[in-house]
A and B are shown apart, each in its own frame.
Chain A
């Protein structure tokens, strides 16, 4: 078998790499170079807009990390049944707590005001779930053992379906709920009802 052409090919390739490392100029067509500058400028513009929004307007991907025992949610103070849904604290901050699991969201439906900063806290009681509200930016995974927290607001009133977008088992396609957004002036904070019986969530 004649290996000379192969050896020659390899020698040329190695020589080319050696030439590159010596700093020999590579010819780039001026038009190609200008096109590359245009692309770099466009990419720079997009990155600059995103950076300004992140640093000035605080628009960032959610990065909250908080652990929780998924098997004992009902015993936790925050995610006990009485505390789920919409709550407003003394400062007027609206927090929505929802538990996902067993092919459902608990509570299945919540009503929130439009144009108001909302803090959503999601937890899973069993396996990996996800949430997606079409026509909004709400979309995150709910990992068992972690609290998925994100802040947003819904500028437009309407009834938004809440869907699980991570395959979680045979009943995954039945796992849905809804979030109703009403105009701020028509919304009133839910009245907290005292729990019946002597439940002990501590």
Chain B
């Protein structure tokens, strides 16, 4: 059962969702880094196809 007061609850609800931002940033950077690694670190060094 939540021990938060109504005031604390409202404060959390109205504040910026830091945890979500961190999660979004982590996932985004991870995905971009993985894609760039596969493209520039694996695909192109194996010899581009044309």
Supposing A42-B28, A46-B35 touch, asked if A150 and B45 sit within 8 A by C-beta, the answer is no
Tell me the A128-154 residues at the B interface (CB within 8 Å): 135-138, 150-154
Closest A residue, CB atoms, query B16 = A31
Q: Which residues of A contact B44 (CB under 8 A)?
A: 59
User: What does the 1/0 interface line of B12-50 toward A look like (CB < 8 Å)?
Assistant: 000001001000100010011001000100011111111
Contact B46 A155 (CB under 8 A): yes
Which of B20, B24, B46, B50 is close to A60, meaning CB atoms less than 8 Å apart? Answer: B50
Q: How far is the CA of A154 from the CA of B48 in the complex (A)?
A: 9
Q: Which residues of B contact A62 (CB under 8 A)?
A: 49-50
Contact A45 B50 (CB under 8 A): no
Which of A35, A42, A59, A155 is close to B49, meaning CB atoms less than 8 Å apart? Answer: A59
Q: Which residues of A contact B47 (CB under 8 A)?
A: 136-137, 152-155
- Size bin of chain A's contact surface: 20 to 34
Interface check A22, CB cutoff 8 A: no
Interface check A7, CB cutoff 8 A: no
Closest B residue, CB atoms, query A135 = B46
Closest B residue, CB atoms, query A140 = B49
Q: Which residues of B contact A57 (CB under 8 A)?
A: 48
Q: Which residues of A contact B39 (CB under 8 A)?
A: 49
Closest B residue, CB atoms, query A54 = B50
Q: How far is the CA of A42 from the CA of B48 in the complex (A)?
A: 23
Q: How far is the CA of A156 from the CA of B24 in the complex (A)?
A: 38
A-B contact list, 5 entries, CB within 8 Å: A59-B44, A59-B48, A61-B49, A152-B47, A152-B49
Q: Could you list which residues of chain A lie within 8 angstroms of chain B, going by C-beta atoms?
A: 31, 34-35, 38, 42, 45-46, 49, 53, 57-62, 135-138, 150-155
Q: Could you list which residues of chain B lie within 8 angstroms of chain A, going by C-beta atoms?
A: 17, 20, 24, 28, 31-32, 35, 39, 43-50
Counting from the closest, the 4 A-B pairs by CB-CB distance are A59-B48, A151-B50, A153-B47, A152-B47
